[in-house]
A and B are shown apart, each in its own frame.
Chain A
Amino acid sequence: MKEQFTISIFTENKVGLLHRVTIIFTRRHINIESITASESEVKGIYRYTIVVFETRESVEKLVKQIEKQVDVFRAFYHTTDEIIHQEIALYKIATSSVQNGLGLEKIIRDHHARILSLGQDYIVIEKTGHKEDTKELFDSLRPFNVLEFVRSGRVAMMKEIDNFSDTLHELEKSYQ
């Protein structure tokens, strides 16, 4: 059975490494639903968060192949209920469309969104949340004619306490 898995990968910061990791997916004809990369709490160690829709068996093998890469420290995979996750979305609407009394203020309030930028021509609204939440706001903003919409990939943390600094320390101890 296929389900959604979030893969967290801790790596060195090296040119070409993202390519090396993503081709592990493409070689197996697995589509990447979303991907983000940034520096982790440990200086110089980067963290990729990749979302796939796959079987557990296939993800298990995939993660082993990822972990096998020389510049990858560790890779973990989790089902959606095992993680805290978030995405960020930006919406651009024309300033003129707000004047038609459709209650933008209430929509923003109800969705716990906020206005990032307010200009003569357009307004940029920001909302963080799960994909469904940002989608919901998108639907609510439809009457205002959304000029542009962008959503980030997922960022996620595991629910279990697994500080990577400790893991790294552990790894250094357990391997000769």
Chain B
Amino acid sequence: MKDVMEKETAKIIESEKNKTVVAEKISGAEAVVKCLLAEGVDLVFGFPGGAIMPVYDALYNYQDNLKHILVRHEQGAVHAAEGYARATGKVGVCIATSGPGATNLVTGIADAFIDSTPVVCITGQVASPLLGTDAFQETDVIGIVTPVTKWDIQITDANEIPEAFAKAFYIAKSGRPGPVVIDITKDAQFQQMEFKYEVCTKIRSYFPKPKIDLAKIEEAAELINKSQKPFLIFGQGVILGQAENELKSFLEKSGIPSAWTLLGLSALPNNHPQNFGMLGMHGNLAPNKLTNECDVLIAVGMRFDDRVTGDVKRYAKQAKIIHIELDAAEINKIIKADVEIHADAKEALFLLTNLIKPKTYSDWINQFKELQKIEYDKIIKHDLYPNEIGLKMSEVVRIVSEKINGDAIVVSDVGQHQMVVARYFNHKNTRSSITSGGLGTMGFCLPAAIGAKLGMPDKQVIAIIGDGGFQMTIQELGTILQTNVAVKVIILNNEFLGMVRQWQQMFFDKRYSQTEMINPDFIKIASGYGLEAQRVTKREELDSAIDKLLNAEAGYVLEVRVEKEDNVFPMIPTGASVSDIRLE
């Protein structure tokens, strides 16, 4: 009898023990949500579907802590995550289901990869026994995204979730940031596991922060101190490395003129006396021409993209090149550096500033100013204050920029209007320019602007889009409707795929193959989505229409009918040298 009693007691104790363990266990899906919360995520963008349903079920319980933005297409989710990341500097997160949900993310992942945007994408996957069986909505997501991700992982066991997420966030935001994909099988989402989260701070095979070589800094300083015509060009590495102040201090002590790449926009205020504008194909005259006249070219956090360099065989051949870059693979990839500084821009600029002599280069700066004046007289003046009847994209951008006075985030799409925004929108604060640079993704703007606004709700966010790009992700107006995001949309409508048309005019004998657009009534569409909207066709209506847009409490769509066959100049034609930049 005693024996039986003991056995029973033991049984009860054992079952109680098990109960407590069971109580601590959660599903893999809930673990996903807890990982996001542990990483400080409070906003995710996504679209549900079969293979990710357990995660959506878990999200339902955490609505107060983790807001989910329901987009209208997965591409919208990833671009919104990119916009959020670019505006805030935090990691953007998006969620999609398996198969088509995941493949719809690919364009945005590729965009984030080439523009170094920290994004974590979570995709559902069919249950692990079904992997490789061509199951419903199964695709080899990892196989597809590997070429365009910084890192990826497929999880088939819920116990791997915490470590995978910790690594994913660490990898996405450290070093040169980039997108990471976590693909989780449905059975792993259901599986019970014990949750324990540890933030990742180190991966033994990964070296995101190189040790700076001080000898190289000294070598660079010596070159700079001896230079007669130094020129500094900078890219997004300055923004990603939070080196804006170090850049400014370096420039002001050194007296060196500078220019930015498309993604370097807003790292330095436009009105800084040493900021001579944008490099590259549709950049400014002075920085392009003088790239081929400087004696020392200091490149900071940029990768010599072909749109910046033009013909590399005729690029800055006369100059000694100092390349400050965090990603070792970018050094000597396109342009051979004379001084390679494999370093974080912040640290390198700080150390370099200490070693350089204060100098002024009045003759050299005057060369920039003279070219600036030529460009102003021949192009800018007319762009900003046109006298013909048709409206120009550039005057719209000027007015918006003047009214905003630097206190907004401007998001642009891809094409002519993008170049116009880059050239004429004036920035005061860093991270106030968001655009798809490397991939040139039409359709990026609207969802990215939604993400930016949700990330920075107190900032005015202006989405300036062409009529072509707008229609590539036009469905995200639905996201604005459902989420009440006060994004201000300006459609610069020329009823053409303008940049392609410009190339057809210049290089294909005006054979306008498939570039003319028959567009819907954008105002009706916006109204259909419950947004206030206005169309402007005349110059005299423009000013008040822009006021109305800027003062609107909610999302707003302003369509401006602009000149149909206008061109963007200056231009460096493909294959030409930066010094062959054309004014007409």
Which A residues form the contact surface with B (CB < 8 A)?
Answer: 11-12, 15-16, 19-20, 23, 27, 60-61, 64-65, 67-68, 70-73, 168, 171-172, 174-176
Contacts and interface: CB of A to CB of B under 8 A. Distances in A.
B215 interface: no
Nearest to B178: A70
18 contacts: A11-B205, A12-B205, A16-B142, A16-B146, A16-B152, A19-B143, A19-B146, A23-B147, A61-B329, A64-B328, A67-B328, A68-B327, A68-B329, A70-B150, A70-B171, A72-B205, A175-B207, A176-B211
Interface of B: 142-143, 146-147, 150-152, 154, 171, 203-207, 209-211, 327-329, 332-333
Contacts of B154: 15-16
Contact of B329 (A12, A64, A168): A64
Given A20-B146, A27-B147, A175 B329 contact: no
Contacts of B150: 70
Given A64-B333, A70-B171, A171-B207, 9 more contacts: A16-B143, A16-B152, A23-B146, A61-B332, A68-B327, A70-B203, A175-B207, A175-B209, A176-B211
Contacts of B209: 175-176
A79 to B, nearest CB: 19
Most buried by A among B142, B143, B152, B206: B206
A40 to B, nearest CB: 13
Contacts of A23: 146-147
A60 B142 CA distance: 27
A11 B203 CA distance: 12
A23 B151 CA distance: 14
Contacts of B152: 16
A67 B211 CA distance: 16
Given A16-B152, A65-B329, A175-B210, A71 B147 contact: no
A68 B151 CA distance: 11
A143 B210 CA distance: 59
Nearest to A68: B329
Contacts of A20: 146
Contacts of A168: 204
Minimum-distance CB pairs A-B, first 7: A64-B329, A175-B207, A73-B205, A68-B329, A70-B206, A70-B151, A20-B146
A71 B205 contact: yes
Q: Is the interface of B mostly helix, strand, loop or mixed?
A: loop
Nearest to A175: B207
Nearest to B146: A20
Contacts of B147: 23, 27
Contact of A67 (B142, B151, B203, B329): B329
Nearest to A44: B204
Contacts of B207: 171, 175
Nearest to A64: B329
Given A19-B146, A174-B211, A68 B328 contact: yes
Contacts of A61: 329, 332-333
A23 to B, nearest CB: 5
Nearest to B203: A70
Nearest to B336: A57
Nearest to B211: A174
A16 B209 CA distance: 25
B149 to A, nearest CB: 9
Nearest to A45: B205
A138 B437 CA distance: 55
B188 to A, nearest CB: 14
Contacts of B333: 61, 64
A1 to B, nearest CB: 18
A10 to B, nearest CB: 8
A27 B148 CA distance: 11
Contacts of A171: 207
Contacts of A70: 150-151, 171, 203, 205-206
Nearest to A66: B329
A39 to B, nearest CB: 15
Nearest to B143: A19
A68 B330 CA distance: 10
A47 B171 CA distance: 23
Contacts of B211: 174-176
Contacts of A71: 151, 205-206
A19 B143 CA distance: 8
B153 to A, nearest CB: 8
Contacts of A176: 209, 211
Most buried by A among B143, B146, B203: B146
A79 B484 CA distance: 62
Contacts of A11: 205
B327 to A, nearest CB: 7
A162 to B, nearest CB: 17
B267 to A, nearest CB: 24
A73 B329 CA distance: 14
Nearest to B151: A70
A71 B211 CA distance: 19
B517 to A, nearest CB: 33
A171 B211 CA distance: 10
Most buried by A among B151, B205, B207, B332: B205
Contacts of B151: 70-71
A64 B303 CA distance: 14
Most buried by B among A61, A71, A171: A71
A96 to B, nearest CB: 42
A61 B329 CA distance: 7
B6 to A, nearest CB: 46
B128 to A, nearest CB: 12
A56 B549 CA distance: 57
B378 to A, nearest CB: 40
Contacts of B332: 60-61
Contacts of A172: 204
Contacts of B205: 11-12, 70-73
Contacts of A174: 211
Nearest to B330: A64
Contacts of B329: 61, 64-65, 67-68
B185 to A, nearest CB: 13
Most buried by B among A20, A23, A65, A68: A68
Nearest to A20: B146
Nearest to B205: A73
Contacts of A19: 143, 146
A174 B152 CA distance: 27
A119 B328 CA distance: 56
Contacts of A67: 328-329
Contacts of B327: 68
A73 B207 CA distance: 9
Nearest to A23: B147
A174 B204 CA distance: 12
A171 B337 CA distance: 24
A20 B210 CA distance: 23
